[in-house]
Amino acid sequence: GAGMAHGHGRCCCCCGEAAAVGGDGGAAWGLYLRIDRQRLQCLNERREGSGALVFRAWEERGDRTQFVESDDDEELLFNIPFTGNVKLKGVIVMGEDDGTHPAEMRLFKNIPHMSFDDTAREPDQTFSLNRDLTGELEYPTKIARFSSVSHLSIHFPKNFGAETTKIFYIGLKGEWTEAHRHEVTICNYEASANPADHKLEQITPQTHFIS
């Protein structure tokens, strides 16, 4: 009875399984607005520019006229630069109920301009995908690993057996903060200036007046 009251505030679904998308619906999936679309790349897309179409509003995920299909083989690689820093919390991948649906997803953070050669390296996180026709399955990321992402690469190495891979919608959930470039400069300056400060103190202790 009484003991049930506490522990309801925080519900943590980190079982590695895909969780159903919660009631907050579209609002949580607004990161597509934070993509730098001028620099967005999709490698091995059959129709140029079609990779960009799959990043859209959650409410529009059912639009089957917008999709990307791979060209030479089943692999697709997205390079997604953001207009700031993103804390990535979840991903949705929507496809067909057939062999063209991607079967695996590999996430890489902060490696701009990745090529297929670069995908040989260890990803930050890998997911086995289930076929999702309605955009209801959310794949939760390891948030600590994706807490400051300025560039996200998504590699789909294989599908469920078809010649090509087809994706209708990719949803990205998380928080966006503006990038403050000057902060970085300040840190670097302090780090490199420190040893010099200490030398000065040793040589000229008398210059430190207490006013």
Which CATH number is 27-178's, of 3.40.50.2020, 2.60.120.470, 3.10.350.10, 2.60.40.420?
Answer: 2.60.120.470
Tracing tokens 């059912």 back to the chain, one arrives at 62
Beta carbons within 8 Å of 38's beta carbon, 6+ residues apart: none
Per residue in 65-122, pLDDT tens?
Answer: 999 999 999 999 999 999 999 999 999 999 999 999 999 999 999 999 999 999 999 9
Query: Nearest-CA neighbor of 129 among 97, 82, 88, 81?
Result: 97
Angle at CA of residue 106, ends 131 and 150, nearest 5°? 120
pLDDT value at 181 more than 60: yes
| pTM flag (> 0.85) | no
Which pLDDT belongs to residue 19?
A: 57
Q: What is the CA radius of gyration of the chain?
A: 22
Angle at CA of residue 192, ends 190 and 196, nearest 5°? 95
For the chain, domain boundaries = 27-178
Element (H, E) at 182: helix 181-203
